[in-house]
Amino acid sequence: MSFGYLNNLNTTPYMYSNPNFRAQSVSVQNLEDSIEKLANRVEEEKKKKHNKTAMAVGGSVLGLSLFVAILNPRSSSKLMEKLKKLRLNSWKKAERAGGGSASGKFHKTVSKTAKWLTDFVSWTNNVNSVKDTYYKKLCTEEKSFHGIHNIETRKSFQKFDKVFRKLMKGQHETLTKWGDMLAKRTVRNGYKTAGRKMDKLEALIRQYIEKLPADKKQIVEEKLREIHAKRNYFTEGNLNQRFINQENLLENINADVRKKWSDYAHGFLDKNVKSTEHFNQNLSFWAEDIVKPERDKLEAEGLKVVDSIVGNKNGTKGQYQEILEFISNSLSAEENKALEKAFRKTEKSLHNAGHQEYGKYFNKKRDLMLGSAPTDIVTAVVGLSMGGIALATADNKDDRISRLITGIIPTVAGIGTNIALTSMLFSGVKGMLLGVGTGGILSLVGSGIDKYRLSSKQSENNNDNTAAKKGVNLIA
């Protein structure tokens, strides 16, 4: 608003008839437009740089999370067997199809890929086992340092070792107990679920046999009593005793793996053996090989009980199947269908529970005895530390928020998911894939939120600039 209006004097005709004033007005307008364009350009460049930085941080942190995930899981023997089976079957198909045909070439490629994956998985398992057992030794076992000849230096190392173990031993043992507790809880819950399925099936059987003659009903009841006696195998007390037995079987696993590593390392010094040949001949999973005979005995014992109750795919009939076949002619089609459905649920649940105990839990216990739980946490901390560095080096508040929601939060969630799932007896590969998937999805969501946040803020700034410009023109 002009001075003239403030004094009830209309000076507008004079202002717009004055060429000097018009020239000054045009110059001011051009200057305002130039400043606005420059500000928009600076803001656009800043936004581009900001997005690139956020993408780089998110990508690098998630990439590190993937690396952590690859180094953490101990892949199951079940996966190894599948890969070996795929390799052999593909090679046979290639031979049948002819090596020169398109089909033969394809199956040869599949076979070679399966071999490479088998070797890679074995290598990562061995790396993890060696890493775990030596870190456990560092944290929990007293070292003599006899290799250090200087007495004072040796005493200094021994003193440091004592202090270090005092700090780390308790934490190492606590994390191991925590991992073991989660794994045992998963096994117990599996048997509880199977028990509920068995109860429902038996209740349905008892309901339907009421219409049977007394002699047939007595035969079914006798079989149910036999099943009930076998179910004692799954009780808490017997399960806990088997947990103790597994721990005793794995008592020397650390010493065995360290010896295997020592022999392997010295093999590279043998001048009569090529290094590549020595490397390729030692790609089996050592810790798995060492305990496999004992693990197979435990598995055979568990399968014997489970198969006697629900049968298996190899033709063995379980007692539940015998009961269902025995009473099927006395029941309606609908009743038989209901019993068959209940039995299939029981069969699947009991086989899963058994495999969790003598398969997945045994492997998890082996890894925990080697010292996997603390090193999983330590390896994860490396990823989180990278996220912390990315956050600390941010240029401003906006940059920090972007890095947090596009990189750091997804990383924490991804690593946490991976560790939690493997503790709950998910396979290492499943835990890795779900962990990386969780981090990736959250990163995409975070990127979307960040773009919306920045565009909203830009709109607010543009509105403020427009309002300020109008105010300047009004005053002019």
Write the pLDDT tens digit of every residue in 389-437.
666 666 677 777 777 777 667 776 776 676 666 666 565 556 566 666 7
Mean pLDDT comparison of 48-57, 281-290, 318-327, 466-475, highest-scoring range? 318-327
Cα torsion through 297, 301, 302, 304, rounded to 10: 130
Judgement on whether residues 26 and 108 belong to the same structural domain of the protein: no
Judgement on whether residues 459 and 400 belong to the same structural domain of the protein: yes
Last residue of a domain, one of 356, 379, 402: 379
Does the residue 389 lie in any domain?
Answer: no
Judgement on whether residues 190 and 314 belong to the same structural domain of the protein: yes
Are residues 387 and 412 in contact, defined by beta-carbon separation less than 8 angstroms? yes
Last residue of a domain, one of 379, 402, 419: 379
Q: What is the pLDDT of residue 325?
A: 94
pLDDT in tens, 101-114: 888 888 888 888 88
Q: Is the pTM of this model over 0.85?
A: no
Last residue of a domain, one of 328, 347, 379: 379
- CA gap 243, 250 in Å, rounded: 11
What string of H, E and C letters represents the secondary structure of the chain?
CCHHHHCCCCCHHHHHHCHHHHHHHHHHHHHHHHHHHHHHHHHHHHHHHHHHHHHHHHHHHHHHHHHHHHHCCCCCHHHHHHHHHHHHHHHHHHHHHCCCCHHHHHHHHHHHHHHHHHHHHHHHHHHHHHHHHHHHHHHHCCCCCCCCCCHHHHHHHHHHHHHHHHHHHHHHHHHHHHHHHHHHHHHHHHHHHHHHHHHHHHHHHHHHHHHCCHHHHHHHHHHHHHHHHHHHHHCHHHHHHHHHHHHHHCCCHHHHHHHHHHHHHHHCCCCCCCHHHHHHCCCCCHHHHHHHHHHHHHHHHHHHHHHHHHCCCCCCCCHHHHHHHHHHHHCCHHHHHHHHHHHHHHHHHHHHHHHHHHHHHHHHHHHHHHCHHHHHHHHHHHHHHHHHHHHHCCCCHHHHHHHHHHHHHHHHHHHHHHHHHHHCCCCHHHHHHHHHHHHHHHHHHHHHHHHHHHHHHHHHHHHHHHHHHHHHHHHC
Does the residue 385 lie in any domain?
Answer: no
Neighbouring CB atoms inside 10 A of 52's CB total 10
Judgement on whether residues 65 and 177 belong to the same structural domain of the protein: no
pLDDT in tens, 127-144: 888 888 888 888 888 888
Residue 6 has pLDDT above 60, yes or no: no
Judgement on whether residues 96 and 190 belong to the same structural domain of the protein: yes
Kindly state the tokens that stand for 149: 């000849």
pLDDT in tens, 349-382: 999 999 889 888 888 888 888 887 766 666 566 6
Q: Which domain holds residue 358?
A: 77-379
Judgement on whether residues 138 and 264 belong to the same structural domain of the protein: yes
Neighbouring CB atoms inside 10 A of 315's CB total 6
Residue 63 has pLDDT above 80, yes or no: no
- CA gap 404, 450 in Å, rounded: 10
- CA gap 64, 408 in Å, rounded: 11
Number of folded domains in the chain? 2
Q: What is the pLDDT of residue 357?
A: 92
Instruction: Quote the Cα angle for 176-178-179, to 5°.
Output: 65
Are residues 449 and 405 in contact, defined by beta-carbon separation less than 8 angstroms? yes
Judgement on whether residues 31 and 84 belong to the same structural domain of the protein: no
Q: What is the pLDDT of residue 377?
A: 62
- CA gap 130, 236 in Å, rounded: 34
Q: What is the pLDDT of residue 1?
A: 42
Mean pLDDT across 162-169: 86
Does the residue 388 lie in any domain?
Answer: no
Q: Side-chain half-sphere of 279: how many Cα atoms within 13 Å?
A: 6
Judgement on whether residues 288 and 419 belong to the same structural domain of the protein: no
Are residues 406 and 46 in contact, defined by beta-carbon separation less than 8 angstroms? no
Using 50, 70 and 90 to split pLDDT, how confident is the model at 168? confident
